[in-house]
Amino acid sequence: MGRASREKDRFLSSVSQERRTPLTVVCGLAHELRDHSQEFEPGEVEELLSMIARQSDEVSAIVEDLLVAARADIGRVTITPKLVDLEHAVAVVLEGTGVEASVVGRGVGAWADPSRVRQILRNLVSNAGRYGGPDKKVMLGADDVWAWVEVMDSGPPIAPEQRGTMFEAYASSPADSTSKIPSIGLGLVISHQLAEMLGGRLTYHHDGSYGVFKLQLPATEQAAAQSVI
Protein backbone atom coordinates (compact mmCIF):
# COMPACT_ATOMS: atom_id res chain seq x y z
CA MET A 1 0.00 0.00 0.00
CA GLY A 2 2.84 2.35 0.87
CA ARG A 3 4.63 1.66 -2.42
CA ALA A 4 1.46 2.29 -4.44
CA SER A 5 0.93 5.54 -2.59
CA ARG A 6 4.50 6.66 -3.29
CA GLU A 7 4.18 5.79 -6.98
CA LYS A 8 0.93 7.75 -7.17
CA ASP A 9 2.60 10.74 -5.51
CA ARG A 10 5.41 10.61 -8.10
CA PHE A 11 2.82 10.33 -10.87
CA LEU A 12 0.92 13.40 -9.67
CA SER A 13 4.18 15.32 -9.23
CA SER A 14 5.13 14.55 -12.82
CA VAL A 15 1.71 15.63 -14.06
CA SER A 16 2.06 18.90 -12.17
CA GLN A 17 5.41 19.50 -13.84
CA GLU A 18 3.99 18.72 -17.29
CA ARG A 19 1.19 21.22 -16.70
CA ARG A 20 3.40 23.89 -15.18
CA THR A 21 5.79 24.13 -18.15
CA PRO A 22 3.27 25.31 -20.79
CA LEU A 23 1.47 27.42 -18.19
CA THR A 24 4.71 29.23 -17.44
CA VAL A 25 5.16 30.01 -21.13
CA VAL A 26 1.56 31.21 -21.53
CA CYS A 27 1.69 33.43 -18.44
CA GLY A 28 5.12 34.83 -19.26
CA LEU A 29 4.32 35.72 -22.86
CA ALA A 30 0.88 37.13 -21.99
CA HIS A 31 2.36 39.42 -19.34
CA GLU A 32 5.14 40.46 -21.71
CA LEU A 33 2.61 41.48 -24.35
CA ARG A 34 0.44 43.28 -21.80
CA ASP A 35 3.30 45.23 -20.24
CA HIS A 36 5.53 45.88 -23.28
CA SER A 37 3.32 45.57 -26.35
CA GLN A 38 4.59 48.89 -27.73
CA GLU A 39 8.13 47.49 -27.90
CA PHE A 40 7.25 44.72 -30.37
CA GLU A 41 6.91 44.85 -34.13
CA PRO A 42 3.60 43.55 -35.56
CA GLY A 43 5.32 40.38 -36.79
CA GLU A 44 6.76 39.73 -33.34
CA VAL A 45 3.36 40.18 -31.72
CA GLU A 46 1.85 37.66 -34.14
CA GLU A 47 4.62 35.17 -33.36
CA LEU A 48 4.15 35.56 -29.60
CA LEU A 49 0.38 35.15 -29.94
CA SER A 50 0.93 31.96 -31.94
CA MET A 51 3.18 30.63 -29.19
CA ILE A 52 0.56 31.46 -26.56
CA ALA A 53 -2.09 29.67 -28.62
CA ARG A 54 0.05 26.54 -29.05
CA GLN A 55 0.96 26.37 -25.37
CA SER A 56 -2.67 26.99 -24.38
CA ASP A 57 -3.66 24.02 -26.53
CA GLU A 58 -1.01 22.00 -24.69
CA VAL A 59 -2.49 22.93 -21.31
CA SER A 60 -5.96 22.06 -22.59
CA ALA A 61 -4.75 18.64 -23.76
CA ILE A 62 -3.13 17.90 -20.39
CA VAL A 63 -6.33 18.88 -18.57
CA GLU A 64 -8.34 16.60 -20.87
CA ASP A 65 -5.95 13.73 -20.11
CA LEU A 66 -6.42 14.36 -16.39
CA LEU A 67 -10.20 14.34 -16.80
CA VAL A 68 -10.05 11.05 -18.68
CA ALA A 69 -7.83 9.56 -15.98
CA ALA A 70 -10.27 10.60 -13.27
CA ARG A 71 -13.34 9.40 -15.20
CA ALA A 72 -11.72 6.09 -16.13
CA ASP A 73 -11.34 5.24 -12.46
CA ILE A 74 -15.12 5.41 -12.06
CA GLY A 75 -16.11 4.14 -15.50
CA ARG A 76 -17.45 7.48 -16.73
CA VAL A 77 -15.46 8.08 -19.92
CA THR A 78 -17.82 8.93 -22.78
CA ILE A 79 -17.26 7.07 -26.05
CA THR A 80 -19.36 7.96 -29.12
CA PRO A 81 -18.15 5.89 -32.08
CA LYS A 82 -18.63 6.76 -35.73
CA LEU A 83 -16.61 6.43 -38.92
CA VAL A 84 -13.37 8.40 -38.54
CA ASP A 85 -11.19 9.59 -41.43
CA LEU A 86 -7.76 8.83 -39.97
CA GLU A 87 -5.89 10.86 -42.58
CA HIS A 88 -7.93 13.93 -41.64
CA ALA A 89 -7.44 13.24 -37.91
CA VAL A 90 -3.68 13.04 -38.41
CA ALA A 91 -3.65 16.28 -40.42
CA VAL A 92 -5.58 18.12 -37.69
CA VAL A 93 -3.21 16.86 -35.01
CA LEU A 94 -0.05 17.71 -36.94
CA GLU A 95 -1.32 21.23 -37.61
CA GLY A 96 -2.34 21.71 -33.99
CA THR A 97 0.92 20.48 -32.51
CA GLY A 98 3.21 22.06 -35.06
CA VAL A 99 5.11 18.78 -35.43
CA GLU A 100 6.46 18.14 -38.93
CA ALA A 101 6.06 14.58 -40.19
CA SER A 102 5.53 12.92 -43.54
CA VAL A 103 2.23 11.06 -43.87
CA VAL A 104 1.91 7.86 -45.90
CA GLY A 105 -1.51 6.31 -46.60
CA ARG A 106 -4.87 7.62 -47.78
CA GLY A 107 -8.53 6.75 -47.51
CA VAL A 108 -8.17 4.90 -44.22
CA GLY A 109 -11.17 4.89 -41.91
CA ALA A 110 -11.83 3.47 -38.47
CA TRP A 111 -14.91 2.95 -36.31
CA ALA A 112 -14.13 5.00 -33.21
CA ASP A 113 -14.82 8.21 -31.31
CA PRO A 114 -13.23 11.05 -33.37
CA SER A 115 -12.34 13.21 -30.37
CA ARG A 116 -10.74 10.27 -28.53
CA VAL A 117 -8.79 9.26 -31.62
CA ARG A 118 -7.42 12.80 -31.91
CA GLN A 119 -6.58 12.77 -28.21
CA ILE A 120 -4.54 9.60 -28.63
CA LEU A 121 -2.83 10.85 -31.78
CA ARG A 122 -2.04 14.19 -30.19
CA ASN A 123 -0.27 12.46 -27.32
CA LEU A 124 1.72 10.23 -29.67
CA VAL A 125 2.66 13.03 -32.07
CA SER A 126 3.55 15.43 -29.23
CA ASN A 127 5.66 12.69 -27.67
CA ALA A 128 7.54 12.20 -30.94
CA GLY A 129 8.00 15.95 -31.28
CA ARG A 130 9.45 16.35 -27.79
CA TYR A 131 11.56 13.23 -27.39
CA GLY A 132 11.88 11.58 -30.80
CA GLY A 133 14.54 11.79 -33.46
CA PRO A 134 14.64 14.34 -36.29
CA ASP A 135 12.92 12.13 -38.88
CA LYS A 136 9.23 11.61 -38.15
CA LYS A 137 6.51 9.97 -40.19
CA VAL A 138 2.99 8.68 -39.82
CA MET A 139 1.93 5.51 -41.61
CA LEU A 140 -1.75 4.67 -42.20
CA GLY A 141 -3.04 1.23 -43.13
CA ALA A 142 -6.03 -1.07 -42.96
CA ASP A 143 -7.41 -4.47 -43.82
CA ASP A 144 -10.95 -5.83 -43.69
CA VAL A 145 -11.01 -5.85 -39.89
CA TRP A 146 -8.48 -3.35 -38.52
CA ALA A 147 -7.26 0.14 -39.29
CA TRP A 148 -4.05 1.48 -37.85
CA VAL A 149 -1.86 4.54 -37.46
CA GLU A 150 1.86 4.20 -36.81
CA VAL A 151 3.60 7.26 -35.36
CA MET A 152 7.30 6.79 -36.04
CA ASP A 153 10.48 8.69 -35.20
CA SER A 154 14.19 8.04 -35.73
CA GLY A 155 15.19 8.49 -32.09
CA PRO A 156 16.81 5.85 -29.88
CA PRO A 157 14.65 2.98 -28.63
CA ILE A 158 12.86 3.13 -25.31
CA ALA A 159 14.83 1.14 -22.75
CA PRO A 160 13.64 -2.50 -22.55
CA GLU A 161 13.00 -2.22 -18.81
CA GLN A 162 10.50 0.58 -19.48
CA ARG A 163 8.50 -1.08 -22.21
CA GLY A 164 6.60 -3.38 -19.91
CA THR A 165 5.34 -0.59 -17.67
CA MET A 166 5.19 2.59 -19.75
CA PHE A 167 1.44 2.18 -20.34
CA GLU A 168 0.71 1.59 -16.65
CA ALA A 169 -0.59 4.30 -14.32
CA TYR A 170 1.90 5.34 -11.62
CA ALA A 171 4.73 3.46 -13.34
CA SER A 172 8.17 5.06 -13.18
CA SER A 173 11.36 4.38 -15.06
CA PRO A 174 14.55 3.09 -13.43
CA ALA A 175 16.81 5.80 -12.09
CA ASP A 176 19.68 4.72 -14.35
CA SER A 177 17.62 4.68 -17.53
CA THR A 178 19.15 6.62 -20.42
CA SER A 179 15.90 6.86 -22.35
CA LYS A 180 14.79 10.33 -23.36
CA ILE A 181 11.18 9.43 -22.54
CA PRO A 182 10.15 11.13 -19.27
CA SER A 183 9.91 8.94 -16.17
CA ILE A 184 6.12 9.07 -16.19
CA GLY A 185 4.07 9.60 -19.34
CA LEU A 186 0.51 10.57 -18.52
CA GLY A 187 -0.27 10.79 -22.23
CA LEU A 188 0.84 7.21 -22.90
CA VAL A 189 -1.18 5.86 -19.99
CA ILE A 190 -4.33 7.68 -21.12
CA SER A 191 -3.80 6.79 -24.78
CA HIS A 192 -3.45 3.11 -23.94
CA GLN A 193 -6.63 3.20 -21.87
CA LEU A 194 -8.57 5.01 -24.59
CA ALA A 195 -7.36 2.61 -27.31
CA GLU A 196 -8.74 -0.32 -25.32
CA MET A 197 -12.03 1.51 -24.68
CA LEU A 198 -12.34 1.96 -28.45
CA GLY A 199 -11.93 -1.78 -28.98
CA GLY A 200 -8.34 -1.49 -30.15
CA ARG A 201 -4.88 -1.37 -28.71
CA LEU A 202 -1.72 0.73 -28.53
CA THR A 203 1.69 -0.92 -28.78
CA TYR A 204 5.34 0.07 -29.12
CA HIS A 205 8.31 -1.48 -30.86
CA HIS A 206 11.56 -0.37 -32.46
CA ASP A 207 12.26 -1.68 -35.95
CA GLY A 208 15.99 -0.96 -35.87
CA SER A 209 15.63 2.49 -37.42
CA TYR A 210 12.42 3.93 -35.97
CA GLY A 211 10.52 3.82 -32.73
CA VAL A 212 6.94 2.93 -33.62
CA PHE A 213 3.79 3.60 -31.59
CA LYS A 214 1.01 1.70 -33.35
CA LEU A 215 -2.64 2.56 -32.71
CA GLN A 216 -4.90 -0.22 -33.96
CA LEU A 217 -8.68 0.32 -34.21
CA PRO A 218 -11.70 -1.54 -35.64
CA ALA A 219 -12.13 -0.67 -39.31
CA THR A 220 -15.92 -0.97 -39.29
CA GLU A 221 -18.85 -1.03 -36.90
CA GLN A 222 -19.12 -4.78 -37.46
CA ALA A 223 -15.46 -5.27 -36.62
CA ALA A 224 -15.90 -3.21 -33.45
CA ALA A 225 -18.79 -5.43 -32.36
CA GLN A 226 -16.64 -8.53 -32.85
CA SER A 227 -13.41 -7.07 -31.44
CA VAL A 228 -11.33 -9.66 -29.60
CA ILE A 229 -8.17 -7.57 -29.03
Instruction: Give residue 10's pLDDT.
Output: 54
CATH of 2-73 given 1.10.10.1800, 1.10.760.10, 3.40.50.10800, 1.10.287.130: 1.10.287.130
Residues of the chain with CATH 1.10.287.130: 2-73
| Average pLDDT along the chain, 229 residues, taken 10 residues at a time | 52 52 75 84 84 74 69 72 96 92 96 94 92 96 97 94 78 40 63 94 96 97 78
Q: Which CATH superfamily is domain 82-225 in?
A: Histidine kinase-like ATPase, C-terminal domain (3.30.565.10)
pTM: 0.72
Angle at which helices 114-131 and 186-197 cross, to 10°: 150
Instruction: Give residue 175's pLDDT.
Output: 37
Q: Which long-range contacts (CB under 8 A, 24 or more apart) does 141-144 make?
A: 141/105, 141/108, 142/108, 142/109, 142/110, 142/219, 143/219, 144/219, 144/223
Q: What does the alpha-carbon distance between residue 217 and residue 199 come to, in Å, rounded to a whole number?
A: 6
Cβ-proximal residues to 71 (8 Å cutoff; 6+ apart), any chain: 77, 78
Residues of the chain with CATH 3.30.565.10: 82-225
